[in-house]
Amino acid sequence: MQPSSRSNFARIAMIIDCFDEVNTPRKSAEIIDLLETSRATGFGLIRALVKSGWLERVDHGIVRLGHKATQLIHIPLEIDQALKDTSQFMKISGTVRTDRQPDRSTANEWRPELIRLVDTTSYKRPGPYRIAFANASLGNPWRKAMLASMRYAERLHGDLIARFDVSDAGDDAKTQLAQVNQFIEDGIDLLIVSQTRFDDKELSDRLSEIADTGLPIIAVDRRPDVPDALVSFVTASDRRIGWVSAMWMAERLNGQGRVWMLSGLEGASPAIRRQSAALAGFANFPGIKIEAVNYTSWTEEGGYNAVDRLLADGAEIPDGVWCDSGLQGIGSLRRFLEEGKALPAHTGGDVNQMYKLALHHKLPFVAVDYPAAMGARAIDIAIDILSGNRVASRLEVPVQVVLPRGSETPSVAADIWAETHVRWELPDNTILSQGPSLRTRAAQIEADNP
Amino acid sequence: MSENNAYDRAVAQFEAVATAPSEHIISNPAQLSRQANLARATGYRLALLAEAQSVLQREPTGTYRCGSLLLRAGLSALGFGNFAFIAPPLLVELRQSANLTAFLYVISDGTLRIGPYSLGRSSDFVRPNALYQAHSYDPVQAGDQGTLEISCTMPDQTKTQRMTILHGAQSKAGCCGLGLMLPPHLQTVSETGKRALTLAVKRFSAASKERTNED
């Protein structure tokens, strides 16, 4: 038997994962074959797992998952807040609302794709894999953070990835099409795409052609208008971002007031969905008047200019500014700060600077972070597909509602307090939802400034 | 053979790493090493391995939590592995709709066990305990669509937790469904919450049937 480079930790994980959904007993010899290790090591590990209760012996040389494994069902699906430091998370006397209402009827839009599994056995091939990412752009800090998250996952999967090539289309559909064609010409095992424009027919058609040749395609963040071409779509609930932020603002304003809406990039699928969900949320409050809807390209400059134009046209400072991200929210805030008057309530998180500004100026705001960590999940899904594991047709990375203490409204509760979410020690353009790649960056800064 | 050989140690390390996030908030490999009582270098190596193998998963904030491999193994060990993919998105959706802690329960060998859960927020925050194992409750019949209130008493008899559960699916291993935990200030789930639960269970049942047919 050729010695395997796998560690015993990885072998144990493989043993625990090799039983079917009803825990059908398996022969020890059969399990050892999966491990690609010596019989002595395989039997040694199985004996140790039986001894500790992870496996149980049902007959001579036949085992299945044991009582210790049954205890694993009790798992939180998100961070378990009960374990958090109570002084930070629970001791908020006087600010907890007990009159909270469940979300109103259209708060959530269930997507059956979330529990629809795709059989990927036809895409299974031996590694290491060549993966390419046709990125819409690297034009703002969020997109850079998503790429950092992907790079983190690339390192994590180490020897399973031979190459991970990335292109930057600069939000230009024609450039992206050329880059996708170049990837195909170079020869790849899987394509990840974040499309410049949802309605770009030329690229969508090309992706359909590529999918027909049997090459698996995943979309991340921004999808094309050809769902059948995709094996999976990794995203977060844009609807929830739009809805929750609109509900918070309307309730914060007691259902009365003038609101300006600053959306992201015109034509990009997240911007379309967030805006439409927010408009549906505001529609529940007849006293809320939407005075302006502008696009900002998800840039600070775009946010600043949009507010500047409105003020220059003689508009009065509104009661609220709905932003689908803090990327443009920062620009909006900066422009209002120049006015030197009371700041209107804002929405939009993502960027560290948005939190810093909002907390510093005691601004009423809600942030629903769009997780840049979805980049790493896209790489995980890519590995799963090429390994022949079933994957969900749509995977939503949870979004977190971030509020300053005392800012909860009847239907919007905080997942995390802004005061604990902000990272005062990190640069302004840091994206806080990028997962462990942020830690790497934090560690880097600490190393640079011992 | 030694009582504590290399394989026993490997299993002990696996267990320490896999269970560490259920006891403490762990934000980086150094904390994981400390929590699992491992040398720093070993802890770093195992943290990366655990994440790559889906034994652990990391939140967008970087915090560790138990990964999909463990959830799948736990449910499979009880014969309910079919639900490992279906339950998580449904539970998160249910929690968001009802604003209460939502959970999957399974009943096998006459015992109700609380499975994966999505936590409610702020005042509706209830963290279910793994020891909520009800042995005496009205039997839930297959196809039962009624909501029922049950009490689960902790072994030390000091805590009783009210919850509303709704039967969702029947398998060879027993039956299972979804539920909502009631915080102390609530006597009952609101009508909106009940509607959300009914809808989630309906989706859960349909998806379970689909999966069973596929298999």
Q: Report the pLDDT value the prediction gives residue A234, as an integer from 0 to 100.
A: 96
Among candidate residues B149, B154, B160, B143, the one with its CA nearest the CA of residue B202:
B143
**Interface subset of A 220-239, CB within 8 angstroms of B:** none
Residues in chain B closer than 8 A to A107 (CB atoms) = 96-97
- Please compute the mean of the pLDDT values over residues B166-179 and round it to a whole number: 80
Give first-to-last CA distance, chain B, whole Å.
43
Exposed, middle or buried: residue B39 (CB in 10 Å: 0-12, 13-18, 19+)? exposed
Q: Is the pLDDT of residue B162 over 70?
A: yes
Q: What pLDDT is attached to residue A86?
A: 40
For residue B142, pLDDT beyond 70: no
The low-confidence residues of chain A, meaning pLDDT below 50, are 1-3, 85-100, 102-106, 450
Cβ distance A436 to B62 under 8 Å? yes
Q: How far apart are CA B9 and CA B5, in angstroms?
A: 6
Instruction: Give SS3 for B187.
Output: coil
What interface predicted TM-score (ipTM) does this complex get?
Answer: 0.89
The beta-strand segments (E) located in A92-224 are 117-118, 129-135, 161-168, 190-193, 217-220
- pLDDT value of residue A98: 43
B57 pairs with which residues across the strands?
B65
* Alpha carbon distance B123, B115 (integer Å): 22
What is the chain B residue with the closest CA to A379?
B52
Q: Give B102-130 pLDDT, tens digit per residue.
A: 999 888 877 788 899 998 876 667 777 76
Does the pLDDT of residue B16 top 70, yes or no?
Answer: yes
| H or E element in which residue A33 lies | helix A28-35
Predicted pLDDT at A257: 95
CA-CA-CA-CA torsion for B58, B59, B63, B67, nearest 10 degrees?
-40
- Chain B: residue whose CA lies nearest to A110: B93
Rounded to a whole number of angstroms, the distance from the CA of B99 to the nearest CA of chain A is 5
Residues 132-191 of B with CB under 8 A from A: 171-173, 185, 190
Q: How far is CA A295 from the centre of its chain?
A: 22
Q: What is the DSSP string of B111-129?
A: EEEEEEEE---GGG-----
Q: Do B74 and A78 touch (CB under 8 A)?
A: no
Which pLDDT score, from 0 to 100, does residue A87 have?
Answer: 37
- Are the Cβ atoms of A115 and B89 closer than 8 angstroms? yes
**What number is the average pLDDT over the span B74-88?**
92
Q: How far apart are CA A146 and CA A372, in angstroms?
A: 4
Which of B26, B59, B132 is most worth mutating to test chain A (most A CB atoms within 10 A of its CB)?
A: B59
Distance CA A369, CA A388 (A): 32
Strand-pair category, B160-171 with B148-153? antiparallel
Cα separation, A7 vs B91, in Å, equals: 34
pLDDT at position A331 is 95
The pLDDT of residue A270 is 85
Among residues 361-400 of chain A, which lie with CB inside 8 Å of chain B?
369, 371-373, 376, 380, 390, 392, 396-398, 400
pLDDT at site A92:
34
Please identify among residues 8-67 of chain B the ones whose CB lies closer than 8 Å to any CB of chain A: 8, 10-15, 17-18, 22-25, 27-28, 45-46, 48-55, 58-63, 65-66
Task: Using a CB–CB cutoff of 8 Å, tell me whether A12 touches chain B.
Answer: yes
Angle between helices A8-16 and B40-52 (to 10 degrees): 40
For the cut 90, the answer to whether the pLDDT of residue B2 exceeds it is no
Residues of chain B above pLDDT 70, percent: 81
Q: How far apart (Å, rounded) are the C-alpha atoms in residues B106 and B75?
A: 9
Question: What is residue B4's predicted lDDT score, i.e. its pLDDT?
Answer: 63
Alpha-carbon distance of A281 to A290, in angstroms, equals: 12
pLDDT at A89: 37
Integer Cα distance of A448 and A443 in angstroms: 9
CA distance A33 to chain B (A): 18
Instruction: Give me the residue from A47, A77, A84 closest to B88, CB to CB.
Output: A77
A55-59 and A62-65 beta bridge pairing? antiparallel
- Retrieve residue B93's tokens: 């959706």
Indicate the pTM of the whole model: 0.87
Q: Which amino acid is at B9?
A: R
- The residue that leads in pLDDT, B10 or A442, is B10
Helix A141-156, helix A436-448: angle, nearest 10: 100
B99 band by pLDDT with thresholds 50, 70 and 90: confident
Q: What is the DSSP letter of A231?
A: S
* Chain B residue with the nearest C-alpha to that of A436: B62
